[in-house]
Structure formats: C-alpha cells, structure tokens
Amino acid sequence: MFFGFWQRTLRFCHSELGGIFFGTSPKRMDFMTDQNAQLIGPASRVYFSQRLRLHYVDWGNEGAPPLLMVHGGRDHCRNWDWTAQAMRDRYHIIAPDLRGHGDSQWMVGSGYELNDYVYDIAQLIHQKGLAPLTIIAHSMGGAVALRYAGLYPETVKKLIVIEGLGPSPKMLSERKEISADQRIRNWIDEVRKLSSRQPRRYDSIEDAYKRMQEENPHLSPERARHLTVHGVNQNEDGTYSWKFDNYVRAFSPMGFDEETSTKLWGRITCPTLLIRGTESWASDPVADGRAKHFQNAKVVAVEGAGHWVQHDKLDEFLRLTDEFLAE
C-alpha cells in the first residue's frame, strides 16, 4: 500500500507536471490528463442514518443519471469497482457500505434487520436527492433493494438484482418447522456466542487474501487481492481483520418474512432483471416459483458463475446489464 502511494505520486508528477518542467507537448499533456482521469478512483463520503455514520463512495459525473450499487452481506462497497469503472462515464454512481460493513459504523445494542438496511438506503436516496434512479444490487443488498423498490416503486426506474431473493421456499419451509420460541432461543444463544467471538486476525494481508480465495474460488487472483485490500483493517498489533461486524452473522429470530416480501415484490413496477449463477447455491426463481410474484421481471442464468456473478463472469454481467438498461 505504501509502495502504491509512491507509484501514484510519481505518476501524478510525471503527467501533471511533466509539460511544465520537462517540455512535454500540450497534445501529450491532454492525452496524459485524460488517461489520469480514468485512473482516479471514487471519492469517499459519509451520511447519517439513525445516528450512525455511514460510508459510501461517489464515482463522480454528477450530471449523469444516478445509479446506486448495493453490496451483499459481509462484503463492502468496493466490490463494485470493476462494474463502476465500466459504467462511470454514463452514470453518477453511488455505492454505500451498509451499516456494520466496510467503513460504515457498527450498530451498538441492537441487531441487523433487513428493514434497518432498507431505512439506510431510503435515507441515502432521500438525503442526496437521487430519485428517480437505477439500482444494481447483490445478495442481501438485492433483498434490500427489492424491498425498497416495493415500498417506493415510483422512485426506481430499473432494477438489477443478483441472487437477492433471500432463502429459497424449501429453506423457508424447513425453518417453519422450528417453533417460534425455539427460534428465539436459538437467536439468543447465537448472539451470546458472538459476544465472545473476536474478529479473526491474520498475520498478513496475504493470509487474508488466501481466505478470500477460499471463499470464492471463481475469483481471479487480481480481483481477490483487490477485494481483500479494501475489505480489511490493520489492527494495532500489525495483524489484519475483516471490516464487517461479526454481529451481522446473527439472523433475526423472526426470519425472512416471505408474505411481506412477495407482496412487496408484486408492487415493483419498474423493469427488473434477476440474475443468478448456475454454479451458485442459490435456488432458481423460475423453478421454485418466486419469479411469478413480479410484474415485469426477466430472469437470466449465467453459466459458470457462482454467487458473485459480477466478479465471476464480469464481461457477461456487463453485457447483460448494458443490454437491459438500453431497452
């Protein structure tokens, strides 16, 4: 990271100052400035929701149509970097870190409920005046985006969700076999265990990088390293830990409200693209019947992709996204 800083500094000095001090032609200066513009990453920003200091990145181009990108559980906003880089010239892209994730503040004295995440996203859209907007979301972030779009259908122009429909009907059926009192006791036990669970410490970023590769073997080494660098903090003793709060692992004892979710899906009026990977654990929404709850949804399965379609098959994902948004 330190070496990377000096690389960026030297690149800046050569391109921005070269024409003045080293006789670079104006034409060459224009070319290098344009090149540098492509290398500039997003700006880090904050907003507040329920007194939490929440983080998001802004990819610029504020005069363009707004596009919100929402990550999944135990992930972070920089997981969208490759997608954002490919689309930043056409959209004003905002990518938040959900509460308890990335560089956003952790909750204290409460859990992480789906509706809490929905409130945070609603606040971000409201505070920044982003509506009407397009949303791309993954996994848990997809569930958040779908619920928001069902609550405020008039504010969403188009919606792309990668494996964000929540537990399959089979999983929900199995969960219903557990009594409500037992689910609450299980939740208490789980949270109690989490209270004594310390964030795992890795001796080096390399060790964390290897864990990232284990979690998603579809990732290229380059993408796995990028996600790792942006997904860890260095501890005071020099070790590294993931940024997310361990308490996000605890699922609500009330579970996933299937009735409320399907009713809200039915309220979504915008064109919706539901994407899944054929090598993922996620259930096929056409085969299991969930796709029927949508008014205007198209379902696409991406061959050879796992749960993180936007990483595993980036080019195919971008093609599907561009075609859908152009319709």
Judgement on whether residues 33 and 49 belong to the same structural domain of the protein? no
CB-CB contact of 203 with 235 (8 Å):
no
pLDDT band of 49, cuts 50, 70, 90: very high
Query: Per-residue DSSP letters for 256-323?
Result: --HHHHHHHHHH--S-EEEEEETTSSS--TTTTSGGGG-SSEEEEEETT--S-HHHHTHHHHHHHHHH
Backbone angles phi, psi at 198, to 5 degrees: -90, 145
297 lies in some domain:
yes
Judgement on whether residues 141 and 13 belong to the same structural domain of the protein? no
Place of tokens 């982003």: 130
What is the per-residue pLDDT for 255? 78
218 lies in some domain:
no
What is the per-residue pLDDT for 38? 57
Report the alpha-carbon angle 134-137-140, nearest 5.
145
What is the per-residue pLDDT for 3? 38
Neighbours of 198 (CB within 10 A): 7
pLDDT mean over 93-109: 97
20 lies in some domain:
yes
Judgement on whether residues 166 and 88 belong to the same structural domain of the protein? yes
CB-CB contact of 84 with 93 (8 Å):
yes
**Tokens read off for 142:** 């997809």
214 lies in some domain:
no
Judgement on whether residues 72 and 115 belong to the same structural domain of the protein? yes
pLDDT mean over 315-323: 98
What is the per-residue pLDDT for 26? 35
Judgement on whether residues 167 and 281 belong to the same structural domain of the protein? yes
Judgement on whether residues 34 and 52 belong to the same structural domain of the protein? no
Query: Per-residue DSSP letters for 37-86?
Result: HHH--PEEEEEEETTEEEEEEE-S-TTSPEEEEE--TT--GGGGHHHHHH
Euclidean distance between CA atoms 174 and 266, whole angstroms: 24
Residue numbers of the domain that contains 63: 43-172+256-326
Beta bridge partner(s), residue 54: 47
pLDDT mean over 258-266: 97
Judgement on whether residues 18 and 162 belong to the same structural domain of the protein? no
Judgement on whether residues 56 and 92 belong to the same structural domain of the protein? yes
264 lies in some domain:
yes
- Statement: residue 2 has pLDDT above 50: no
Of all residues in the chain, the percent with pLDDT exceeding 70 is 88
164 lies in some domain:
yes
What is the per-residue pLDDT for 39? 61
- Statement: residue 5 has pLDDT above 50: no
Q: In what order do the strands lie in the sheet with 272-277?
A: 43-49, 52-58, 92-96, 66-70, 133-138, 156-162, 272-277, 297-302
189 lies in some domain:
no
Judgement on whether residues 2 and 94 belong to the same structural domain of the protein? no
pLDDT band of 252, cuts 50, 70, 90: confident
pLDDT band of 251, cuts 50, 70, 90: confident
Judgement on whether residues 26 and 149 belong to the same structural domain of the protein? no
Question: For the chain, what is the mean pLDDT?
Answer: 89
- Statement: residue 79 has pLDDT above 70: yes
Judgement on whether residues 132 and 58 belong to the same structural domain of the protein? yes
- Statement: residue 93 has pLDDT above 50: yes
CB-CB contact of 55 with 46 (8 Å):
yes
Terminal Cα-to-Cα distance of the chain (whole angstroms): 41
Q: Which helix (H) or strand (E) holds 232?
A: strand 232-234
What is the per-residue pLDDT for 109? 86
- Statement: residue 43 has pLDDT above 80: yes
Q: What is the C-alpha R_g of the chain?
A: 21
Q: Give the residue, 13 or 290, on which the prediction is more confident.
A: 290
pLDDT tens for each residue of 6-21: 344 333 333 333 333 2
pLDDT band of 74, cuts 50, 70, 90: very high
Q: Is 233 helix (H, G, I), strand (E, B) or coil?
A: strand
Euclidean distance between CA atoms 214 and 221, whole angstroms: 11
pLDDT band of 25, cuts 50, 70, 90: very low
pLDDT mean over 97-103: 98
Neighbours of 237 (CB within 10 A): 7
**What CATH number did the domain enclosing 70 receive?**
3.40.50.1820
pLDDT tens for each residue of 183-231: 999 999 999 999 999 999 999 999 999 999 999 999 999 999 999 999 9
Euclidean distance between CA atoms 21 and 11, whole angstroms: 14
223 lies in some domain:
no
Judgement on whether residues 55 and 36 belong to the same structural domain of the protein? no
Backbone angles phi, psi at 91, to 5 degrees: -135, 155
**Number of domains, the chain:** 2
pLDDT mean over 290-305: 98
Euclidean distance between CA atoms 9 and 6, whole angstroms: 5
**Tokens read off for 309:** 């379609």
What is the per-residue pLDDT for 14? 36
